[in-house]
Amino acid sequence: MNRNTITDIKGTFTLHNGVAMPYLGLGTYQADNEQEVVDSVKDALEIGYWHIDTASVYKNEEGVGKGIKESAVAREEIFVVSKVWNADQGYDSTIKAFTDSLERLQLDYLDLYLIHWPVAGKFKDTWKALEHLYAEKKVRAIGVSNFLQHHLEEVLSDCKVTPMVNQMEFHPYVVQQDLIDFCNKNTIQYEAWSPFMQGKVFDLDICKELADKYNKSVAQVILRWNLQKGVVTIPKSVHKNRIASNAAIFDFELSEEDVTYLDSLDRGERIGPHPDHFDF
């Protein structure tokens, strides 16, 4: 996988189809659809983020679209991501869900569209729909979310297009290095959701110690760790000062020992559901 040097907020990792994906983005999970999400998107774009992540199930695509439209940044500069929800999976319903997401976002195309969860008996038909949308150039890249190795192997067994991204729960307690290695081997870009363990990472002593060592915040240390592992990351915040602080990670570098130490904290302790045992 071609990875550019980690340089600045505009830096990218290159997907296997040549599309440049900004490695730092704004997550919008649990940001409401009213002014809160509009303002956070506008703030992020103003600060220099060029990657905004949403999903139909977040119920805030309209607000995200409004924030993009009201910002001073040109649409083609922004990497916009959404996801097809579980209830909409299947071939025809996925095509419709994609069209509905575009309409809510008031956009002509998406930069990345993901299958949100691997719904058994449906995700392969859903993938075929994503391949169709990609062939029609309605989306610049397609991928999955919450897919373990066996889910990916099922897709890879007969897909026309290899997924370009796998967005997974990723933080010091769920590293899943074997899955990262499998994705890297198959040129699937790994991406983190919930990099802060929904706030629990701030209570870990080792993270506080590393923050002191590098004279950075715990959040900055964790995000830097993500990037140094070649993992795209999308921290969520609706506070402008935190959105800015989360981007101040390009003036220091974690040692290899500290990266390895954070990796070693992996205990398979998830904040969200296990991809084999979700019921929604």
pTM higher than the cut 0.85? yes
- Non-local (6+) Cβ contacts of 41 within 8 A are 26, 28, 52, 63, 64, 66, 67, 68, 71
Cα–Cα distance measured from residue 245 to residue 228, given in angstroms and rounded to the nearest whole number: 18
- Which residues, other chains included, contact 208 with Cβ-Cβ below 8 Å and sequence gap of 6+? 218
The CATH architecture annotation of domain 12-263 reads: Alpha-Beta Barrel (3.20)
Which one, of 58, 32, 269, lies nearest residue 171 by Cα?
269
Looking at residue 236, the DSSP 8-state letter turns out to be: B
Two tokens, residue 163 = 């997924």
Domain boundaries, the chain: 12-263
Annotated active-site positions, please?
58
pLDDT tens digits, residue range 90-136?
Answer: 999 999 999 999 999 999 999 999 999 999 999 999 999 999 999 99
pLDDT in tens, 222-242: 999 999 999 999 999 999 999
| d(C-alpha 166, C-alpha 189), whole Å | 6
pLDDT at 2 over 90: no
Amino acid letter for position 160: K
- Quick one: pLDDT band at residue 33, thresholds 50, 70, 90? confident
